[in-house]
Amino acid sequence: MANVKTKARFDEAKGKWIINGQKVWTSLAHESDYIFVIARTDPDSVAHKGLGFFLMKMDQPGIDVRPIEQITGTSEFNEVFFDDAECEASDIVGKPGDGWKVAMGLLGFERGVSTLGQQMAFQNELNDVIAAAKANDAAKDPVIRQRIAKAHEGLKIMRYNSMRTLSHDASDGALHKEALMYKLYWATWHRDLGELAMDVLGMECDVLEEAPYELTRLQSMYLFVRSDTIYGGTNQIQRNIIAERGLGMPKEPKVTIKV
């Protein structure tokens, strides 16, 4: 994220910020009224310095939303292009140059209290898997029962770790060590739940070869969770974060390639 190329310049005559650039993998951009944008307010800055954090109106000239079709046939994610899009001077969060600090604070809250609502959705999906296992007698398979029990245990551990994270003072949005492991944990757990769901359904999980697909809730969940370990920082990136920021291990060496 610190390598962002989107730029923001302040137009003194208009009294507005002018945004140019591109943002990819933007969830629900096609349904949103506003969008958060991190843009480089200092054109000579590098990495996490010289960034601004903006709240922009979507319904305006200069913003083009292009849906990205997923394997499920839906388009939750989007590319968003900014071509001289405008942002009110008052709609920058913090000051120019504070963008990285604001983004990290937002991430701290995302890995904190918001996780509890996410876990309710996970519980509903697990309940659907259990109901399907009981309905088609997959629950009589001792291996399936063991995997369902493991999924139940994993969800409880997820909740306990979230409660431990929330025991800290989160008013500053700081990302505590307990929160560092959360994305890696839930993404892996959710991916495994999708695989369990398909094994429970057996032959019922087969997908038609051609569109339009008529997917059940569990089929859609299985296809979608393949992305969980990629977006928001891949599992590999999350392990680096845990190692470097949580365990204090040496940072991954940077390699400069000269052409």
Going through the chain in order, the beta strands assigned E by DSSP cover 7-11, 16-23, 34-40, 51-57, 63-67, 78-88, 92-93
Q: Using an 8 Å Cβ cutoff, are 235 and 184 in contact? A: yes
125: nearest Cα among 52, 202, 189, 174: 189
**71 band by pLDDT with thresholds 50, 70 and 90:** confident
Hey, what CATH topology would domain 111-246 get? Butyryl-CoA Dehydrogenase, subunit A; domain 3 (1.20.140)
Q: Among all residues, which ones are annotated catalytic? A: 110
Q: Per residue in 205-249, pLDDT tens?
A: 886 666 666 788 999 899 889 888 988 788 998 899 899 888 999
Q: Per residue in 74-132, pLDDT tens?
A: 788 899 999 999 999 999 999 999 998 888 877 766 666 667 788 999 999 999 999 99
Distance CA 202, CA 191 (A): 17
Question: Which phi and psi angles does 60 have, rounded to 5°?
Answer: -160, 155
Domain chopping of the chain, boundaries: 7-100, 111-246
Across residues 145-158, what is the average pLDDT?
A: 97
Quote the pLDDT of residue 188. 96
CATH homologous superfamily for 7-100? Butyryl-CoA Dehydrogenase, subunit A, domain 2 (2.40.110.10)
